[in-house]
């Protein structure tokens, strides 16, 4: 069996937040990849959280042609070819997104050929994974977030994540001071803790938008609220500053959802900069590289978690390896997958139960690929 054809399509998928009872609409940029073998098997992959058109162009013009004729089952050989074609000088950026989407489609083919779900191919360490809901978005008012979290609790979630530090450093001079933002965030999270009580897990995520001093101030303000973890608190995921912050706070730190190269996770681990690392299969080199990173983390007795949307793909990594822990149910990403595949993650008692469907168990709607194509 060999790879016969690869097509990447940039999509602009309309999403709504009606499941949260919020009247807000937006778009998710997704690059959809379809790989066909000479035996007629089709595999599907995707990447997101970046501009979709340049990623699709890189796949269609460079990476796809580079692996035509290769055996899709030889994922290490194919991945190495993709890496040296896209990043001969160790760049990351769009390259890691493109490699991830292709790699996912290849693992989808492998699962479909063997009639097994990807999580079983990876080792099948867990048949269910804890799931938490990212539902406290920065476009919501404090009162809206309180209402939304209440609805999420009613849906059976036992953990929520709130966005903090927005807009932070990315819009300096156009927003309130960081000091005021920190005060507002502390008030918002305090309101949520008072609403849900002591048993609900609450995490926060600043998406690399704070400097060290601001991140430390926020940690101090949240110290007594029993925060499950603080995701990507510092700009650029600065390893040295993360390690410094970790020594100053008891709140567990996590990072890695947008990192494209494995050495970045090595540095997190060696520097003891975070408590949990978050390789993301739709960005961090697909399943193939995330497996390497999970193994590296295991050697340091560190767990991995998912922090980058795409729960329908990331759940396979988290369930497949022994040090996998949790999956993020990010409402806008889930809405986009529901539009594209007609599937939402199913969860029971705070856990996502893994599907037994072959591959990733996802079949895209052709009509969505046509009408949502961003070309």
206 and 346 fall within a common domain: yes
Check pLDDT > 70 for residue 362: yes
140 and 35 fall within a common domain: no
Residue 266 counted as domain residue: yes
Q: What pLDDT is attached to residue 267? A: 98
Strand partners for 31: 10, 47
CATH of the domain at 190: 3.20.20.120
CATH of the domain at 38: 3.30.390.10
236 and 216 fall within a common domain: yes
User: What does pTM read for this prediction?
Assistant: 0.95
Q: How far apart are CA 243 and CA 264, in angstroms?
A: 13
Mean of per-residue pLDDT scores for the chain: 95
Nearest to 355 by CA among 75, 108, 30, 141: 108
Q: How far apart are CA 161 and CA 174, in angstroms?
A: 26
Residue 100 counted as domain residue: yes
Arithmetic mean of pLDDT, 78-96: 91
Residue 254 counted as domain residue: yes
Which ranges of the chain does DSSP label H, i.e. alpha helix? 52-58, 64-67, 75-86, 94-114, 118-121, 142-154, 178-196, 212-222, 239-248, 262-270, 286-299, 311-320, 331-341, 366-371
231 and 90 fall within a common domain: no
Edge-to-edge order in the sheet of strand 42-48: 3-16, 25-37, 42-48
Check pLDDT > 80 for residue 375: no
Check pLDDT > 80 for residue 175: no
State pLDDT tens for residues 291-344: 999 999 999 999 999 988 899 999 999 999 999 999 999 999 999 999 999 999
The pair phi, psi for residue 6, each rounded to 5°, is: -135, 130
268 and 303 fall within a common domain: yes
Check pLDDT > 70 for residue 174: no
29 and 108 fall within a common domain: yes
> Helix, strand or coil for residue 128?
strand
Residue 248 counted as domain residue: yes
196 and 328 fall within a common domain: yes
Whose tokens are 């009247």? That residue is 23
Residue 358 counted as domain residue: no
- Judge contact between 31 and 104, C-beta under 8 A: no
Q: What pLDDT is attached to residue 253? A: 98
Check pLDDT > 90 for residue 170: no
Show the domain range for 96. 3-115+363-371
- What does the chain come to in residues? 375
75 and 123 fall within a common domain: no
Q: How far apart are CA 329 and CA 19, in angstroms?
A: 12
Arithmetic mean of pLDDT, 238-260: 97
216 and 89 fall within a common domain: no
138 and 98 fall within a common domain: no
Residue 208 counted as domain residue: yes
State pLDDT tens for residues 121-142: 999 999 999 999 999 998 899 8
> Helix, strand or coil for residue 204?
strand
- Judge contact between 265 and 293, C-beta under 8 A: yes
Check pLDDT > 70 for residue 372: yes
98 and 243 fall within a common domain: no
State pLDDT tens for residues 21-73: 988 889 999 999 999 999 999 999 999 999 999 999 999 999 999 999 999 99
87 and 136 fall within a common domain: no
- Judge contact between 1 and 113, C-beta under 8 A: yes
Helix axes 178-196, 212-222, angle to 10 degrees: 30
Residue 167 counted as domain residue: yes
Q: What pLDDT is attached to residue 348? A: 87
Q: How many domains does the chain have?
A: 2
């Amino acid at each position: 069996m060999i790879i016969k054809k690869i097509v990447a399509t940039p999509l602009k998928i309309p999403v709504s937040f009606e499941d949260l009872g919020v009247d807000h609409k937006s778009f998710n940029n997704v690059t959809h990849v379809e790989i066909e073998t000479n035996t007629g098997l089709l595999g599907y992959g995707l990447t997101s959280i970046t501009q979709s058109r340049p990623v699709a162009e890189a796949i269609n013009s460079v990476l796809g042609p580079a692996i035509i004729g290769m055996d899709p089952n030889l994922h290490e050989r194919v991945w190495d070819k993709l890496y040296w074609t896209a990043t001969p000088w160790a760049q990351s950026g769009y390259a890691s997104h493109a490699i991830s989407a292709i790699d996912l489609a290849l693992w989808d083919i492998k699962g479909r050929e063997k009639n097994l779900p990807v999580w079983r191919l990876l080792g099948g360490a867990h048949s269910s994974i804890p799931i938490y809901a990212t539902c406290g978005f920065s476009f919501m008012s404090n009162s809206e977030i309180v209402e939304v979290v209440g609805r999420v609790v009613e849906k059976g979630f036992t953990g929520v994540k709130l966005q903090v530090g927005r807009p932070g450093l990315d819009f300096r001079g156009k927003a309130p001071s960081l000091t005021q933002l920190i005060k507002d965030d502390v008030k918002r999270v305090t309101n949520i803790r008072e609403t849900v009580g002591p048993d609900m897990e609450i995490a926060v995520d600043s998406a690399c938008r704070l400097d060290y001093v601001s991140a430390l101030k926020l940690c101090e303000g949240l110290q007594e609220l029993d925060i499950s973890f603080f995701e990507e608190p510092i700009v650029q995921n600065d390893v040295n500053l993360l390690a410094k912050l970790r020594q100053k706070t008891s709140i567990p730190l996590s990072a890695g959802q947008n990192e494209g190269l494995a050495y970045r996770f090595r540095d997190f681990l060696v520097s003891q900069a975070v408590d949990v690392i978050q390789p993301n299969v739709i960005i961090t080199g697909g399943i193939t590289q995330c497996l390497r990173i999970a193994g590296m983390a295991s050697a340091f007795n560190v767990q991995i978690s998912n922090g980058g949307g795409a729960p329908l793909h990331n759940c396979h990594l988290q369930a497949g390896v022994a040090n996998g822990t949790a999956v993020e149910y990010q409402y806008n990403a889930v809405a986009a997958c529901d539009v594209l595949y007609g599937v939402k993650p199913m969860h029971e008692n705070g856990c996502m139960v893994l599907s037994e469907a072959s591959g990733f168990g996802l079949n895209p709607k052709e009509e969505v690929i046509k009408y949502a194509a961003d070309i």
